[in-house]
Chain A
Amino acid sequence: MTLLKVKGLSIRYGDDVVVDDVSFKVKRGESVGLVGESGSGKSQTALAILGLLPRQARVSGSIEFDRAQVIGAGEEALNELRARRIGIVFQDPMQALNPYLRIGAQLKQILLSHGLAEKGDADTRVIEMLAKVGLPDPERQFGAYPHQLSGGMRQRVMLASALIAEPDLLIADEPTTALDVTVQAQILDLLEDVRDNTALLLITHDLGIVAGRCERMLVFEDGKLVDSGATTSLFASPGHEHTRTLLAAAPRVDRGAVPPGVSASTLLSVGDATVSYKELNAVYDVSFAVKRGETVAVVGESGSGKSSLVRAMLGLVPMEAGRVVYAGDILKGPVEDRALSQRRDLQLVFQDPASALNPQMRVQAIVEEPLLVHEPRRPSAERLSRVVAVLEKVGLGERFLRRFPHELSGGQAQRVAIARALILDPKVLICDEAVAALDGSVRQQVLDLLRDVQKETGLSIIFISHDLAVVRSISHRVLVMYLGRLVEAADNAKLFSAPKHPYTRALLDSVPVPDPVVAPKRAPLRGEVPSPMHPPSGCVFHPRCPIAEAICSNKAPTLVDHAGTRVACHLVAD
């Protein structure tokens, strides 16, 4: 039975068509995934269903929810619809929750203002709901403010508030994008467990999530609905070119060719590095080495200290203890005190290209600046030709020279940032979540670019990422960090085929696989990463570890070599 019927929906802002003639249906109780890259119109479609589009939007077509027309409906009818019939979960729960109200009061308000419960039993209903979404100690959390909860817990509260009115449809717009992968797995499980007969419209860029959790999927491209059908059949035989592109760009953590290890001399090594910010221990006693021409990935969830580690290596933040040896020289002190020749060999690419490029400088000036510092005597014509050459290397041409950063797309901006890092022919390129902000197909292009440059120049790459599927496809060796500690270090093939540390295993099991044939695993870990301000005793992972024993809470494990894999766990046997 059809619950939602969208027909010929178009949304435009001025001359800009953001959604173009989209038609689809959602049946009662069904789960439908809405996938597409950023700007494909998927969120706009969801907002139209909710009647939440801004005033400037010109909407045409028809949206029928339970046979009632949504487009052009009065504010009262829309309020009723949103309060009782459609629940919403957004990406950022902090923006959707009122920071000044206790969460119990916010949920109660929903029930009371729409006459869904009597005053007397509203509290009990709310506490029941909080318990249902897996909030520990719901009676106490009833009186908590949103900021007192962790990101995952806040998203649970959002889910509770979306479902408390028992709506017919739940719209979830990138509900887990801001969460760590182990927490994402928990929320996705929860989404499945608690929705009963509520239909689900899940908006996501992650094909892995759709593959495991949705019966049907809709594929958006540039505002058009280009492909739709049962998830299994669409994955098996995509009906549209764009679906094929998206699938090809979705890396898999569970299979695929793995780059072999590199046997060459060590170029850079870090020994016993510790980084602290006041009493917070961000990185604790981490050692690793990078060979020439090798890509080493550093993987971890938020708070794992992976960014602090490389920032300390580069001298951007002070390293409390430990040493960095590059090509036989010890690098120490803040970056300003290091020799220029050492600085030019180590370059960094940031996560967000929008913030890594000075908005007031043109591409030419941005890419040229390192040359001005390191080779000031070079005539300007020669500098220009170097800039053009490096821009061409990253797939941008001469026509980009005069552009400002805001005139570039995300992928182009990241290429400019890479060009700036490459113009000095560095020996080590450090990529700090350098592809995390990019759409799938663009991400693949940037990864290919990095591989090509490496093949051509023998560059070593330190690749920091939270995304294990990407790491699998690019790195030769992988370091797994948890709460500032290195817990496992192994060659790519070993790590992905035979992970030894329970945390590594859990991480791998948490990553959604873009293949509907592979049944999604239940979330392997409970809880979230503890605050680095108060790390647990003994092995810092023990409170979440599925196999922890008594020794784990008393004694911190050290890294031990098990057949080529270094693991910090008491319970690993060869």
Chain B
Amino acid sequence: MSMNRAVKVPVTFLMAIAVFALVGPWLSPHDYITTDFDNLLASPSASDMHLFGTDDLGRDLFVRTMLGVRVTLIVAVVASLVSLLIGVAYGAIAGFVGGRVDAAMMRFVDTLYALPFIFFVILLMVAFERNFFLIFVAIGAINWLDMARIVRGQTLSLREREFVEAARLTGVSTARIIFRHIAPNLIGIVVVYVTLTIPQAILVESFLSFLGLGVQEPQTSLGALVNVGVAHMESASSMLLIPAGLLALILLCFNFLGDGLRDHLDARHTE
């Protein structure tokens, strides 16, 4: 069974972007922090090897953009992994144990849903030293709630399926039922959901960085670059367009990938 095109195309694009972000800065003579006083706010040109131009401090934007892509991708993937780990474990336990444990665990999730999370994250950022780690935690803390609900729902319905009943009857241990019967049937939906939470995480990170609460100078991310770009939108539009365009492309790829995977799995089930 071959993967369909809706999966292959976005994966190819994402791989290309990731490789480019890793290798690109080495190929450039510039680094992300040195100021080129001769070229402040330069437009993209090949003559000085400022392929994407420079910012208001004369730093090379090609290298900074690649750095931004790296940071954005890392934040997104790590934050999604955090939400995956917490969400799957939490949801699977609530769903499989059921009863009062389930009710208590899910009411806790409901309570967390009621908190205005962006506000909470902003407070967190303001109160503590701003660092990478905190961003992962903050974003993961938002996303795991959805994951927990989805996994719980799926586990609840799997638990009632007859093949689980058959396993219970023969005497298969609870651990083996979870790992052999429940978990493999969760993977599909979890994978799809993760690819759909990554763009969410990217957006939250960009939003925080745009507000100046995310990644701190001289480090950068696509959101932070867009922030700077907006300030110079009229004089140097490429400063906004390039990071914004890349951000949009990455989001698009992940969304397509999620849809493609879902269709792929649906097709396998309805076959």
Which residue of chain B lies nearest to A343 when distances are taken between CB atoms in the complex? B171
Q: Are B170 and A356 in contact (CB under 8 A)?
A: no
B163 contacts A by Cβ under 8 Å? yes
Residue in A closest to B174 when the chains form the complex, CB atoms? A336
Find out whether the CB atom of A373 lies under 8 angstroms from the CB atom of B166. Answer: no
B162 contacts A424, C-beta separation under 8 Å: no
> Do A355 and B161 contact each other (CB < 8 Å), given the known contacts A360-B184, A360-B185?
yes
Q: Known contacts A360-B184, A360-B185, A406-B271; decide if A355 and B163 are in contact (CB<8 Å).
A: yes
Contact indicator A357/B163 (Cβ below 8 Å): yes
Size of the B side of the interface (Cβ < 8 Å), in residues, is 19
A-B contact pairs, 28 of them (CB 8 A): A316-B165, A316-B169, A335-B171, A336-B168, A343-B169, A343-B171, A344-B171, A347-B170, A348-B166, A350-B162, A352-B162, A355-B161, A355-B162, A356-B162, A356-B163, A358-B163, A358-B180, A358-B181, A359-B185, A360-B184, A369-B167, A369-B180, A370-B171, A373-B170, A374-B170, A406-B271, A417-B166, A420-B166
| Interface flag for B172 (CB, 8 Å) | yes
B:169-194 near A, CB below 8 Å: 169-173, 180-181, 184-185
Q: Which residues of B lie under 8 Å from residue A359 when comparing CB positions?
A: 185, 269
For B170, the chain A residues whose CB sits under 8 A away are 343-344, 347, 369-370, 373-374, 424
Picked from B161, B171, B269, the residue with its CB within 8 Å of the CB of A373 is B171
Q: Bound state CA distance, A347 and B173, in angstroms?
A: 17
Q: Closest B residue to A346 by CB, please name it.
A: B169
> Which 5 residue pairs spanning A and B have beta carbons closest together?
A360-B184, A356-B162, A370-B170, A358-B163, A350-B162
Which of A344, A358, A360, A424 counts the most chain B CB atoms within 10 A? A358
Does residue A280 face the partner (Cβ distance < 8 Å to B)? no
A340 within 8 A of B: yes
Q: Using a CB-CB cutoff of 8 Å, which residues 214-271 of chain B contact chain A?
A: 268-269, 271
B162 CB, nearest partner CB in chain A, Å: 4
| Number of residue pairs A-B, CB distance < 8 angstroms | 60
Partner of A335, one of B162, B169, B269, B271: B169
- Measured between C-beta atoms, what is the minimum distance from B264 to chain A in Å? 14
List A residues 106-153 near B (Cβ within 8 Å).
none
Instruction: Report the separation of the CA atoms of residues A355 and B170 in the bound assembly, to the nearest whole angstrom.
Output: 17
Known: A335-B171, A359-B185. 9 other contacts (CB 8 A): A344-B171, A348-B166, A350-B162, A355-B162, A369-B170, A370-B171, A374-B171, A406-B268, A420-B166
A binding-site residues for B, Cβ under 8 Å: 314, 316, 335-336, 340, 343-344, 346-348, 350, 352, 355-361, 369-370, 373-374, 406, 417, 420, 424
CB distance from A361 to the nearest CB of B (A): 8
**Interchain nearest-CB distance for B101 vs A (Å):** 17
Q: Closest residue to B167 on the A side, CB-wise?
A: A369
Cα distance A344–B171 in the bound complex, in angstroms: 8
Contact B169 A347 (CB under 8 A): yes
The B153-169 residues at the A interface (CB cut-off 8 A) are: 161-163, 165-169
Residues 16-34 of B, flagged 1 when their CB comes within 8 A of A and 0 if not, give 0000000000000000000
Name B residues whose Cβ lies closer than 8 Å to a Cβ of A: 161-163, 165-173, 180-181, 184-185, 268-269, 271
Please give me the residue from chain B that is nearest to A351 by CB atom: B162
The docked-state distance in angstroms from the alpha carbon of A75 to that of B159 is 45
Whether A373 pairs with B172 at a CB distance below 8 angstroms is yes
CB-based nearest B residue for A315? B169
Tell me the smallest distance from the CB of A415 to a CB of chain B, in Å.
15
Chain B's closest residue to A353 (CB) is B162
Q: A344 CB to closest chain B CB, in angstroms?
A: 7
Given the known inter-chain contacts A358-B181, A360-B185, A406-B271, please indicate yes or no for A369 contacting B162, CB distance below 8 A: no
- B interface SS class: helix
* Docked complex Cα distance between A424 and B171 (Å): 12
Q: Which residues of B contact A344 (CB under 8 A)?
A: 170-171
CA distance A350 to B161 in the complex (A): 11
Name the prevailing secondary structure of the A interface residues. Answer: helix
CB distance from B160 to the nearest CB of A (A): 10
Bound CA span A358–B185, Å:
8
A315 CB to closest chain B CB, in angstroms? 8
* Residue among A340, A343, A369 facing the most chain B CB atoms (10 A cut-off): A369
Residues of B within 8 A of A343 (CB): 169-171
Shortest beta-carbon distance from A187 to chain B in Å: 30
Q: Which residues of A contact B269 (CB under 8 A)?
A: 359, 406
B172 and A316 contacting across the interface, CB-CB below 8 Å: no
Residues of B within 8 A of A316 (CB): 165, 168-169
B contact residues around A360 at 8 Å (CB):
184-185
Tell me the complex Cα distance, A340–B167, Å: 13
C-alpha spacing A352/B163, complex, angstroms: 10
Closest to A359 in B: B185
Q: Which residue of B lies closest to A316 (CB)?
A: B165
Provide the bound-state CA to CA distance between A340 and B173, in Å.
11
Find chain B residues with CB under 8 A from A350 CB. 162, 165-166
Q: Which residues of A contact B166 (CB under 8 A)?
A: 348, 350, 356, 417, 420
List of B residues within 8 angstroms of A347 by Cβ: 169-170
Closest to A350 in B: B162
B190 to chain A, nearest CB (A): 13
Tell me, in angstroms, the Cα distance from A344 to B180 when the chains sit together: 20
Give bound CA distance, A29 to B180, whole Å. Answer: 58
* Distance, CA A347 to CA B165, complexed state (A): 11
Which chain B residue lies CB-closest to A341? Answer: B171
A316 to B167, CA, bound (A): 11
Please report the C-alpha to C-alpha distance between residue A424 and residue B169 in the assembled complex, in whole angstroms.
12
Q: Whole-angstrom distance from the CB of A316 to the nearest CB of chain B?
A: 6
User: A348 to B167, Cβ gap below 8 A?
Assistant: no
Among B171, B180, B269, residue most surrounded by chain A Cβ atoms (within 10 Å): B171
In the complex the two chains form, is B168's CB within 8 Å of A335's CB? yes
Chain A residues closer than 8 Å to B180, beta-carbon distance:
358, 361, 369
With both chains docked as a complex, state the minimum distance between the C-beta of B24 and any C-beta of chain A, in angstroms: 41
* Residue from the list A340, A348, A361 in contact with B171, Cβ < 8 A: A340
Cross-chain contact A369 with B169 (CB below 8 angstroms) = no
Query: B179 CB to closest chain A CB, in angstroms?
Result: 11
B185 surroundings in chain A (CB, below 8 A): 358-360
Complex Cα distance, B271 from A240, in Å, reads 32
CB-CB < 8 A to B268: which residues of A? 406
- Interchain CA distance A417-B163 in the complex, whole Å: 10
Q: Please determine whether A348 and B169 come into contact, CB atoms closer than 8 angstroms.
A: yes
Please measure, in the bound complex, the distance between the C-alpha atom of A360 and the C-alpha atom of B185, giving whole angstroms.
7
Report B132 CB to chain A, min CB distance, Å.
37
Measured CA separation A340–B269 after assembly (Å): 34
- A61 CB to closest chain B CB (Å) equals 28
CB proximity of A385 to chain B, nearest CB, Å = 20
Residues of A within 8 A of B181 (CB): 358
Q: Which B residues touch A424, using CB under 8 A?
A: 170
- Nearest CB in chain A: distance from B239 CB, A: 48
Nearest-Cβ distance from residue A67 to partner chain B, whole angstroms: 39
In the assembled complex, the CB of B164 is this many whole angstroms from the nearest CB of chain A, namely 8
Task: Give every chain B residue within 8 A of A346 (Cβ-Cβ).
Answer: 169
Q: CB-nearest residue of chain A relative to B170?
A: A370
Bound form: Cα–Cα A360–B180 in Å:
9
State how many angstroms separate the Cβ of A406 from the closest Cβ of chain B: 6
